[in-house]
């Protein structure tokens, strides 16, 4: 069964600090991995998307990495801001015609001033 596990479940950091969120998956055959940011009461917004051949992708202060061999991804947030407080969701899609992506449960990040 395809699964996406995220850790930690929640994280509290001080403004200005860096943090790294983890995503492990068992989706096969792998097509792409996406990271979304979901603010409270809003819909998810795409941060990055990576395919099998991509190791790193950045979007401003957000940098995602992918290790397809170990089936792990991380999202690194640099110089955190209060506006980074949100849930970060890892989503993995399989190739081969399935349109059903597998969502992780998300990591809740709180940035304190």
Residue 45 binds another protein, judged by CB under 8 A: yes
Q: Which is nearer to another protein, 47 or 111 (CB)?
A: 47
The interface region with another protein, picked from 20-28, 42-50, 56-64, 66-74 by CB under 8 A, is: 42-50
User: Three-state SS string across 3-59, please?
Assistant: CEEEECCEEEEECCCCEEEEEEECCCCEEEEEEEEECCCCCCEEEEEEECCCCEEEE
Residue 29 binds another protein, judged by CB under 8 A: no
Residue 4 binds another protein, judged by CB under 8 A: yes
Residue 14 binds another protein, judged by CB under 8 A: no
Which residues are at the interface with another protein (CB under 8 A)?
4, 31-32, 34, 41-46, 49, 51, 89, 93, 99-106
């Amino acid at each position: 069964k395809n699964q996406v596990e995220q850790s930690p479940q929640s994280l509290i950091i001080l403004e200005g600090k860096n943090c790294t969120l983890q995503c492990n998956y068992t989706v096969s055959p792998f097509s792409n991995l996406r990271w979304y940011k979901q603010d409270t009461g809003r819909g998810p917004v795409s941060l990055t998307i990576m395919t099998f051949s991509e190791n790193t992708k950045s979007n401003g202060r957000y940098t995602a990495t992918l290790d397809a061999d170990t089936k792990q991804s991380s999202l690194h947030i640099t110089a955190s801001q209060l506006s980074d407080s949100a849930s970060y969701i890892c989503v993995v899609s399989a190739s081969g015609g399935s349109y059903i992506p597998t969502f992780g449960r998300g990591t809740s990040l709180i940035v304190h001033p």
